Amino acid sequence: MKAKKIVITGGPGTGKSSIIMELEKRGYTCLHEISRQVTLEAQKQGIDQLFLERPILFSEKLLEGRLKQHKIASKSEEKIIFLDRGIHDVVAYLDFFSTSYKEPFMSTCEQNKYDQVFILPPWEAIYKSDNERYENFQEATEISTYISATYKKYGYKPITVPTGTVSNRTDFILKNLDN
């Protein structure tokens, strides 16, 4: 049996990681966001903001990591695997920052499919910036628009998760999974 790959996405600071942690508490297998890991590794090498200084290199590292996660999920014997962001988020961010890119970005999006995508909308009440999240709320809102548009461009119909408690948002996702 092939694991269903479910993406939880949205702009920065929308509550994705909190929902992923709640899903794990409920016994689901989840693959975590990797951008902070890529950023921290670059900082250890003396590059403060890899995305700002070398956006294509940063995006290639993200694409590689998210493709690896996709392959892990595809080989899993779990019924469902949740992913904190998907491959398509990489392209959405590049488009938001008007960064031109070539292959393998588009073909990787086309060739690696997810079963369902849930998008968390911008929510100013919970938004916080930090050392790795440098966007202001307006930029976070615009990024969310790009993420939604990118998934739609590749044939997905993202389901918007309403704001509310982490538990209620998680319940919403679980109730709206395709069978």
Sort residue 13 into left (φ over 0), alpha (ψ -120 to 50) or beta. left
**Is 96 a residue whose pLDDT tops 90?**
yes
What whole-number percentage of the chain has pLDDT above 70?
A: 94
Number of H helices, E strands in the chain: 8, 5
Is the sign of the CA dihedral 87, 149, 106, 5 positive or negative? positive
Q: Average of pLDDT values for 15-34? A: 95
Res 133: pLDDT: 57
Is residue 100 within 8 Å of residue 3, measured between CB atoms? Answer: no
pLDDT tens readout for residues 31-51? 999 887 887 787 888 877 777
Distance of CA 25 to the CA centre of its chain: 20
Q: pTM value?
A: 0.90
Q: Which fold has domain 4-174?
A: Rossmann fold (3.40.50)
Res 45: pLDDT: 81
Query: In the chain, what are the domain boundaries?
Result: 4-174
pLDDT tens readout for residues 103-143? 899 999 999 999 999 999 988 777 676 655 567 778 888 99
**Mean pLDDT of the residues in the chain:** 89
For Cα atoms 151, 157, 160, give the angle at the middle one, nearest 5 degrees: 95
Beta bridge partners of residue 56, listed in sequence order? none
